[in-house]
Structure 1
């Protein structure tokens, strides 16, 4: 089953410095049919103006993955971590028992991110933060695991939940498969381009909520950059 969620159907709000689109209920946007997808709770498509951002604020009991599509985001938190994550790269914050952080676009250009929240399946642990580059060449024509709750995904950023975040870049006409299993749920968003899954076309920034499929086969209609969450 594939439920297409076109970009223009998403909730959201434009705050001037932040133009936020919400794939799931978030802040002032509430849709009882879009509360979560398995343990995936939030997928925000944020456009952040230069020299602006989110001032320090608290989180707890949430796995927060930030995928930078354009520009860069600078993170600082109450643990003393500070880092700048550029386009194509990923950062993960496990909020754990509690953390305060800020996220600023300190660049002179607009920054665009996907921010993904996944409910943890382990709790009571201290908070943590990490980031790493994922050069696009490594995921050309195939899926690469960006963040994972499983020990055997050694190169991925660790998250404390039964889920994976994977990414791929496909040239027009290329296909890639992701074996997921019928008991899992997937949520796929092309950061750029357009893809086809079965007979469903998914354009850039659309969401595709996928269930009851053993293997997801994605074919690029245009050159595409894809992010997918494999959720419990």
Structure 2
């Protein structure tokens, strides 16, 4: 099963500093058929204007992965963590028993991010934040693990969930394949470019809910960048 969800069909939210598209129900956008996909609960496609951002606010019991597509995001939280994550890199916040954080675009250019929320395997726990650089060459032409519930095995940043978040950049004509375990849920979104997913076409910033596929083959019809999640 591969359910392509066009960018135009996504939920919409816009104010002066934020232009957001929601792959799943979020905030004022509610679609009973799009409440999540397995343990994946939120996938937001956010554009944040320069010198603005999300002011301090709380979270608990959620694994929040931020993939920066353009520009940079600056994180601050109630644990005293501060960090700037640039395009192509990733940050992870395990909200655990509770944390307050802010995410600002302190740049002079538009910042674009994917904000991905995955339900943890267990509630509570010590909140934490981490970030990692992923040099552009590392994910060229292959899927690279950005975050995982087992980073010692898979690489990437640690999340407290039986899940993986992977990324790839493909030149036109290149393909990557992924073989999921039976019964799991995959969700794919492209940041740029047009790809074929087992023969189905995805345009830039489309999403695809995937399940019960023995092998997932993604072929770039033009230069493309993509992010894939695999959850229980």
How many residues align structurally?
Answer: 232
Distance in 2 between residues matched to 1:156 and 1:83, nearest whole Å: 17
Match of 1:89 in 2: 89
Distance in 1 between residues matched to 2:147 and 2:172, nearest whole Å: 26
Residue by residue over 1:101-126, the C-alpha shift from the partner in whole angstroms, topping out at 9 and shown as x without a partner, is 00000000000000000000022210
RMSD of aligned alpha carbons: 0.9
Distance in 1 between residues matched to 2:178 and 2:143, nearest whole Å: 7
Match of 1:163 in 2: 163
Q: Is the CA contact 2:151–2:157 (under 8 Å) kept in the aligned structure 1?
A: no
After TM superposition, the score normalised by the length of structure 2 is 0.98
Match of 1:50 in 2: 50
Match of 1:22 in 2: 22
Residue by residue over 1:20-41, the C-alpha shift from the partner in whole angstroms, topping out at 9 and shown as x without a partner, is 1000000000000000000000
Match of 1:220 in 2: 220
Match of 1:65 in 2: 65
Residue by residue over 1:60-101, the C-alpha shift from the partner in whole angstroms, topping out at 9 and shown as x without a partner, is 000000000000000000000000000000000000000000
Are residue 138 (structure 1) and residue 141 (structure 2) matched?
no
The more displaced of 173-182 and 65-74 is 173-182
Distance in 1 between residues matched to 2:154 and 2:125, nearest whole Å: 20
Structure 1, unaligned runs of 5 or more? none
Match of 1:176 in 2: 176
Q: Is the CA contact 1:193–1:222 (under 8 Å) kept in the aligned structure 2?
A: yes
Distance in 1 between residues matched to 2:25 and 2:46, nearest whole Å: 15
Instruction: For residue 138 of structure 2, give the secondary structure of its aligned residue in structure 1.
Output: helix
Residue by residue over 1:14-59, the C-alpha shift from the partner in whole angstroms, topping out at 9 and shown as x without a partner, is 1110001000000000000000000000000000000000000000
Match of 1:230 in 2: 230
Residue by residue over 1:121-160, the C-alpha shift from the partner in whole angstroms, topping out at 9 and shown as x without a partner, is 0222100000011112111111010000125435310000
Match of 1:199 in 2: 199
The more displaced of 80-89 and 182-191 is 182-191
Structure 2, unaligned runs of 5 or more? none
After TM superposition, the score normalised by the length of structure 1 is 0.98
> Runs (4+) of structure 1 moved beyond 6 Å?
none
Q: Is the CA contact 1:141–1:175 (under 8 Å) kept in the aligned structure 2?
A: yes
Distance in 2 between residues matched to 1:125 and 1:173, nearest whole Å: 44
Match of 1:37 in 2: 37
Q: Is the CA contact 1:196–1:220 (under 8 Å) kept in the aligned structure 2?
A: yes
Distance in 2 between residues matched to 1:17 and 1:51, nearest whole Å: 9
